[in-house]
Structure 1
Amino acid sequence: VQTAWQGDPEFVNEQIAYLRESLCDEISQVVADERYTHELLSERLANAAKLPMFGFPTRVRNLYTDLTKRRWQDLPSIDRDLEVAIAQFAPGMQVVKDKQVHVVCGVVGLMPSDSQEVQVREGF
């Protein structure tokens, strides 16, 4: 681990030990587990909570309710399971949150940048 860590050195040492001693075995267990049927290793590991979900296909989709915010962590959203989102987040649908009605107007692929500002994926 060569990230510039800040904070508790004991925590850093615990994380390094985990990476060296346990992570490979946990990955092997996920690969062998028949509950995870994803072909891509990244998808399997994300669904088994061994990798962060961001950037990988998940079972949850977001409806962003205010794209005027510039910082990624400030984007208000409504999330739904994939099976529900496909119907509830279709263009033209109305979704209620906090006594406000949000009308779905389209599809966008958002991602954070290094500066934590919102960027739109190419093609959207």
Structure 2
Amino acid sequence: MRRTLTTLATFAAAAALTITVPGGPAFAIDHVECRGGENFLKIWSHSGGRQSVDCYANRGRTDFGGWWVDRISTGNNDLIYYDANGDSVRINRWTEISFPNRPPKVASIEIL
């Protein structure tokens, strides 16, 4: 009898937590294929003699590896980039910006 009551109490507690703790939406930034006509975040960058063009979609934050950013097109995404100096810079959606003389060295990016 005692084991049954303990089991019922455990299930009741689990059910109560399931009902009362809201499950917010899960977001994960994705590195996606750059395609014309899409409104992805698009970043042109360079590091160690290599150049790259990368696109991202969905909300979240990811490491950018300390690459130097030459140009950003936010598409329909609000962006914060975190540079290697510890500063954060917000760039609103539908913005295109280039850094021809002093590109930032970016540690991570976050789509809001």
Name the structure with the higher strand share: 2
Name the structure with the higher helix share: 1
Q: How high is the TM-score relative to the length of structure 2?
A: 0.26
Structure with higher Rg: it is 2
Structure showing greater relative contact order (alpha-carbon pairs closer than 8 Å, 6 or more residues apart):
2
Q: How high is the TM-score relative to the length of structure 1?
A: 0.24
